[in-house]
Chains A and B, each alone.
Chain A
Amino acid sequence: MKALLFLLEKEFRQVFRNPAILRILFILPVIQLLLLPLAADYEVKNVKICVVDYDRSPASQRLVHKITSTAYFKLVDFTDSYAKALQYVEYDKADLILQIPAAFEKNLVRENTSTLFIAINAVNGVKANLGGAYLRSVIQDFNQELQTELIQLPRQNLHPVISIASSNWYNPLMSYRLFMVPGIQVLLITIVGAFLSAINIVNEKETGTLEQINVTPIRKYQFVLGKLIPFWVLGLVVLTIGLFISWLIYDIVPVGSLVTIYVFSALYLIAVLGLGLLVSTFASTQQQSMLISLFLMMIFILLGGLFTSIESMPPWAQAFTRFNPISYFIDVMRMVVLKGSTLYDIRDHLFKILLFGLALNSLAIWNYRKRS
């Protein structure tokens, strides 16, 4: 027990003496939390639109005005040649073309129906999808206006109209920040818990100090605990910094209890520390452990539900996310921060992360024994 204390003392001393580690621990979370939530925003703005108007009527002008008055669209050009408009798309100056046919207004008034044509540049799938959808909804709106104006009589609507009123629960303004910030905190804790710890252990291997430790009476479990406990503590420190920043900058105060967050984080850290230990048993140089970490991190992030919703992934990817500890933590953070879930509500997640902790740590210890 006394030996473990000395190992911990040495470990903390080294951490606080290493400017790179300190920077990673304290500046990295600040920068990530300041920049990423602002940049990682799914709302598509400034869709570049080119309008081809063969009609040049008050109705067509009204439509164009309606489109450009929203924040989503930026009018690139207003022309009377489809070929010219297509050129804009080809040079990537326009994302959408709206073509208004000649006699658009005439047909509307006389025959009560008219057509519009939308051409979408689908190179950027997300932008094309959302841009097209926005445009359609603007036109829908325009359609509704026309109906009320043009068809004065009869008073009763000919077609039944269902109007929809929606209210957004837990995130009334549908702010992406509220949704992204807790997720990014999970990434930060994972980097500290799994990957910094792995790199630190491998560093001892690389410099030969592990060998020097191995010829002392120190037991392996003491050495491993001496390595993992500091990173467990540092992980919780980074969580605290993250929560503080999200309160300070984004005014995000968890609806749920902080205790719930800390209890889950403490367990989660044990699981990812096991992962770090496992990585360290495979790698013999820091470079190797960095590359393994990078590879794992990419998979964890992209299949973790941070940027894309897990429910919309293909079934095989959804199955994979069940083996991704990050996805559980992101889920829990969002549940607690936005919804105010309690420990009881996240009991399933707690149980699973406990299983992860057991599995990863036993695997790491088994592999550690085998290789030494």
Chain B
Amino acid sequence: MQAVEVNNIRKTFKAGKSVVTALHDISFGVDRGELFGLIGPDGAGKTTLFRILTTLMLAGSGTASVDGFDVVKDFKQIRKRVGYMPGRFSLYQDLTVQENLSFFATLFNTSIKENYDLIKDIYIQIEKFKKRKAGALSGGMKQKLALCCALIHKPSVLFLDEPTTGVDAVSRREFWELLHNLQKQTITILVSTPYMDEAGLCDRVALVQEGRILGIDTPEAITKQFDQVLWSARAENMFKLLTDLKAQQEVNSCFPFGQEHHVTFNGSEENARLVETRLNQLGHKSVRFEKINPGIEDCFMELMEQHKKS
């Protein structure tokens, strides 16, 4: 039995007169003790899926189970066993750090002492602010407090909805380290994020787009799926480079990627040289093509393209 099983879950919302489908019959499973990532842009349906799994929302059709319990029939059992950290900070801003924590502990009929070892690593970082009101904490501290509150009853499955959105790079890295430590305590963790670079930190990821799962595998396997040669392109005028590249017949795909553009070509590698000389003719200065290894984001872009075509 898997920690989370999702079978053909569909969810639709009424938006005025039209009907929006947030989840298109999606199915997947998460193994016990796994750190599973749902990667996708805003509006992909990640939060909706989490809300269904945490029994806050009913699915239109399909079944799902968490820790072996059905999300509809056994919702009471599930509520005892899961920890949920919503995307928005949802603790009592007017209660102190300690009050929030002990309040949620008592709601689960436990105490801070009982499960202190589980939250110790996180709690010591915010302990010096324990008399401070939660509303007065910094973003990263709020995140840690929310994680503590979600963990205080030693859940078997932890749902983290975009825990690192709006958190600085250092806190993000720290947060992921915390998650890896938790994983050692045999807690199954489902985490959603819009940041592709965090995908590599998960055991397995599902790429979600517009309510559909485009691919689901380990990060390494997903990057291996990328069957084309990927190039990075640079020139002085990056914007003109993008439009010119897209105009070339030989170019299969081209996306801006921070400082550079990631390009794939049709046919053989010869075409890369061909395009390079043509770009020089078009007046581009210091054009540089380099072969690179594809990352998750490249795979995601490709899967999206394939999805659009089919």
Contact = CB atoms under 8 A, between A and B. Distances in A.
A215 B91 CA distance: 13
Contacts of B94: 14, 17-18
Of all A-B residue pairs in the complex, the 8 with the closest CB atoms, nearest first, are A208-B90, A6-B106, A216-B107, A215-B84, A212-B90, A217-B80, A217-B79, A215-B54
Interface in B65-92: 76, 79-80, 82, 84, 86, 88-92
Contacts of A211: 56, 86, 90
A208 B86 CA distance: 8
Contacts of B235: none
A3 interface: yes
Given A211-B86, A216-B79, A3 B109 contact: yes
Interface string A158-175: 000000000000000000
A273 to B, nearest CB: 22
A209 interface: yes
A18 B80 CA distance: 31
A218 interface: yes
Contacts of A3: 106-107, 109
Contacts of B264: none
A14 to B, nearest CB: 5
Contact of A212 (B80, B86, B109): B86
Interface in B14-57: 54-56
Interface string A79-100: 0000000000000000000000
Interface of A: 2-3, 6, 10, 13-14, 17-18, 207-209, 211-218
Contacts of A216: 79, 104, 107-108
A18 B55 CA distance: 32
Contacts of A13: 95, 99
Contact of A217 (B56, B84, B99, B108): B108
B95 A214 contact: no
B103 A14 contact: no
Contacts, number: 59
Contacts of B56: 211, 214-215
A209 B103 contact: no
A229 to B, nearest CB: 17
B79 A209 contact: no
B183 interface: no
Nearest to B76: A217
Given A10-B103, A217-B79, A207 B90 contact: yes
B91 A10 contact: no
A12 to B, nearest CB: 12
14 contacts: A2-B106, A3-B106, A6-B107, A10-B99, A13-B95, A14-B94, A14-B95, A207-B90, A207-B93, A212-B84, A212-B86, A215-B79, A217-B80, A218-B107
Contacts of B108: 216-217
Contacts of A213: 107
A6 B102 CA distance: 10
A214 B54 CA distance: 9
Given A215-B55, A215-B82, A216-B79, A10 B90 contact: no
A3 B90 CA distance: 20
Interface in B96-155: 99, 103-104, 106-109, 149
* Chain A interface main SS type: helix
Given A214-B56, A215-B56, A217-B79, A209 B91 contact: yes
A207 B82 CA distance: 21
A209 B90 contact: yes
B109 A209 contact: no
Contact of A14 (B80, B88, B92, B106): B92
A2 B82 CA distance: 21
Contacts of B91: 209, 212
Task: Name the interface size band of chain B.
Answer: 20 to 34
Contacts of A18: 94
Contacts of B79: 214-217
B47 to A, nearest CB: 11
Given A2-B109, A10-B99, A212-B149, 16 more contacts: A3-B107, A10-B95, A10-B103, A13-B95, A13-B99, A14-B92, A14-B94, A17-B94, A208-B86, A208-B88, A211-B86, A212-B86, A212-B91, A213-B107, A215-B56, A218-B107
A144 to B, nearest CB: 70
B107 A217 contact: yes
B182 to A, nearest CB: 18
Nearest to B106: A6
Contacts of A6: 103, 106-107
B284 to A, nearest CB: 50
Contacts of A207: 90, 92-93
A6 B104 CA distance: 10
A166 B104 CA distance: 67
A213 B56 CA distance: 10
Contacts of B95: 10, 13-14, 17
A354 B5 CA distance: 49
Contacts of B99: 10, 13
Contacts of A214: 56, 79
Contacts of A2: 106, 109
A24 to B, nearest CB: 15
A209 B86 CA distance: 10
Nearest to B133: A17
Contacts of B84: 212, 215
B109 A217 contact: yes
Nearest to B155: A215
Contacts of A215: 54-56, 79, 82, 84
Contacts of A17: 94-95
Nearest to B78: A215
B54 A209 contact: no
A209 B92 contact: yes
Contacts of A10: 92, 95, 99, 103
A18 to B, nearest CB: 6
Contacts of B106: 2-3, 6
A6 B105 CA distance: 10
Nearest to A219: B76
Contacts of A14: 92, 94-95
B66 to A, nearest CB: 11
